[in-house]
C-alpha cells in the first residue's frame, strides 16, 4: 500500500524535527520544506533558532537527511514582507501593539504550505505546533495541545476548515520533555537548543529600532495625558509604549502611573493608576469562527486577551460585520489593542479576532 505523503514545515527547531519523525513512524511519507520568509539584507541575520536563520535552515536539511526525506526551501519573502512585516509597522503606526505570529499564520505560513503541497500533489500538510485537530460531525476542530505550558492553539485560530481538514499536528499529543527526548534519541542537532523567544524579524528585541530602520517610522513626541486630558509630560513617540507599561515613562507623580492606551489621532499616551487597567468588556474585529460555525447569539466561553494570560470565563456576543464582544465574569488587566482575543469551549478553540478596545 502506498504511503500517504505529507508536506511538513521544517523550521530547524526540535518540534518540527520530532514531528517529521512521528509522521514517519505513523506510516506517512513526510517531505520537508523550509519557508524562507525574508531576505537578511532587510534587517540583518535573524535570531538563532528562528525559522529564517542560516543555522536553522541547515538543521532542517540535516534532520531530513537523517530521516531519508526530501527537503525543499521555498522563498516567500515578498509575501511575508507585505503581509506580516509591513502590517506590523502599520499597526504600530496606528497605535496598536500587534502579534505578528498570528498574522503570519493567518496570511502566509499555512497557506504557503498548502499551495506548495498542491503543486507537489501532496494531500496533507503538517507543522510542529503544540495543538491538535479532530473531527466532530462535519466540522473540523482545533484543539489545545496536550502540554498546556506549550499550547500554541492561540496562534492558530485563523486556520480555515479547508486547512484544518488536511493538517497534521503530531507533537500536539506530547509534552516538551518527551519531544526533546525523542529528538535526542534520533540524533537531531536541535534536541537541546533553547526555544527562541524573539520575533524572527526583530532579532535584537528592539521593536522601536526595527520600526525606524525597516518601516521608516518617525518618532513624533507628544503629550502624556490623564483621563481628563490634563498634560502630565512628554512622550518620545507612540511606538515606544504599550498598554500596562510602567517603566521608562519619565513622569513624576504621587502614585505609580501606567499606560492605559494610545490615542493615535491626537498623538497622546493616556496614563493612569493601576486600578484603571482593568476591563470587563473586550471588543474584537475580524473574528474567525474555528471549531464552531458562526453563532447568532450569546455563547459561554473562556477567553484570553494575550498568549501569556490564563483564560477567564465570560460570554461571547457576536455583532455585525465580524465584530464580537466578550463580557468577562471578572475584570482583565491591560487589554491591548492589536493583540488577539481567543475564545475556547473546553479543549476546542471557538475562534479569535483582533482586539480593538475594552471598557468597564
Q: Which residues are catalytic?
A: 104, 200
328: cell is: 468577562
Q: Of 347, 352, 353, give the one whose Cα is nearest residue 130.
A: 347
The x, y and z cell numbers of residue 204, run together, are: 535584537
DSSP 189-257: TTTTPPPP-S-TT-TTS-HHHHHHHTT------EEEE-TT--EEEEES-GGG--TT--TT-----SS--
| The C-alpha cell that represents 110 in the structure block | 499555512
| C-beta atoms surrounding 15 within 10 Å | 24
Interatomic CA distance for residues 89 and 73, integer angstroms = 27
Q: Angle CA(174)–CA(175)–CA(180) in degrees, nearest 5?
A: 100
Q: Is 148 left (phi over 0), alpha (psi -120 to 50) or beta?
A: alpha
CB 187 within 8 A of CB 162: no
What contacts 197, CB < 8 A, 6 or more positions away?
Answer: none
Rounded distance between C-alpha atoms, residue 36 and residue 55, angstroms? 13
Given a contact cutoff of 8 angstroms between Cβ atoms, the answer to whether 353 and 339 are in contact is: no
For residue 228, give every residue at least 6 positions away whose Cβ sits within 8 Å of its Cβ, in sequence order, or none.
none
Task: Read off the C-alpha cell for 159.
Answer: 486556520
- From CA 347, how far away is CA 283, in angstroms rounded? 23
Q: Which of 175, 198, 200, 199 is closest to 15 using CA atoms? A: 175
Cα-Cα end-to-end distance for the chain: 60
Tell me whether residue 233 is exposed, middle or buried, using C-beta atoms within 10 angstroms of its C-beta: 0 to 12, 13 to 18, 19 or more: middle
Amino acid at each position: 500500500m502506498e504511503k500517504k505523503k505529507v508536506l511538513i514545515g521544517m523550521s530547524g527547531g526540535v518540534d518540527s524535527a520530532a514531528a517529521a519523525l512521528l509522521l514517519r513512524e505513523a506510516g506517512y511519507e513526510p517531505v520537508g520544506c523550509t519557508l524562507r520568509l525574508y531576505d537578511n539584507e532587510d534587517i540583518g541575520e535573524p535570531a538563532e533558532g528562528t525559522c529564517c536563520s542560516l543555522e536553522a535552515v541547515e538543521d532542517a536539511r540535516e534532520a531530513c537527511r537523517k530521516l531519508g526525506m526530501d527537503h525543499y526551501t521555498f522563498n516567500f519573502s515578498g509575501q511575508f514582507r507585505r503581509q506580516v512585516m509591513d502590517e506590523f509597522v502599520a499597526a504600530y503606526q496606528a497605535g496598536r501593539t500587534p502579534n505578528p505570529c498570528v498574522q503570519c499564520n493567518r496570511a502566509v505560513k499555512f497557506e504557503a504550505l498548502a499551495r506548495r503541497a498542491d503543486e507537489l500533489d501532496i494531500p496533507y500538510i503538517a507543522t510542529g505546533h503544540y495543538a491538535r485537530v479532530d473531527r466532530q460531525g462535519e466540522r473540523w476542530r482545533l484543539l489545545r495541545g496536550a502540554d498546556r505550558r506549550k499550547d500554541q492553539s492561540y496562534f492558530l485560530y485563523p486556520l480555515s476548515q479547508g486547512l484544518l481538514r488536511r493538517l497534521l499536528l503530531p507533537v500536539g499529543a506530547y509534552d516538551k520533555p518527551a519531544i526533546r527526548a525523542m529528538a535526542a534519541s534520533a540524533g537531531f542537532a536541535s534536541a537541546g537548543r533553547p526555544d527562541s523567544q524573539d520575533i524572527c524579524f526583530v532579532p535584537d528585541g528592539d521593536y522601536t529600532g526595527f520600526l525606524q530602520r525597516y518601516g521608516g517610522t518617525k518618532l513624533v513626541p507628544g503629550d502624556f495625558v490623564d483621563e481628563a486630558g490634563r498634560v502630565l509630560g512628554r512622550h518620545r513617540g507612540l511606538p515606544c509604549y504599550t498598554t500596562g507599561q510602567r517603566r521608562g515613562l519619565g513622569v513624576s507623580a504621587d502614585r505609580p502611573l501606567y499606560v492605559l492606551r494610545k490615542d493615535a489621532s491626537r498623538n497622546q499616551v493616556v496614563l493612569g493608576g493601576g486600578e484603571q487597567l482593568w476591563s470587563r468588556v473586550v471588543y474584537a474585529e475580524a473574528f474567525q469562527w474555528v471549531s464552531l460555525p458562526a453563532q447568532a447569539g450569546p455563547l459561554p466561553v473562556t477567553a484570553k486577551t494575550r498568549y501569556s494570560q490564563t483564560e477567564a470565563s465570560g460570554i461571547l456576543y457576536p455583532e455585525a460585520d465580524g465584530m464580537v464582544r466578550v463580557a468577562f465574569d471578572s475584570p482583565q488587566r491591560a487589554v491591548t489593542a492589536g493583540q488577539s482575543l481567543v475564545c475556547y469551549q473546553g479543549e476546542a478553540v471557538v475562534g479569535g479576532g483582533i482586539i480593538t478596545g475594552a471598557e468597564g
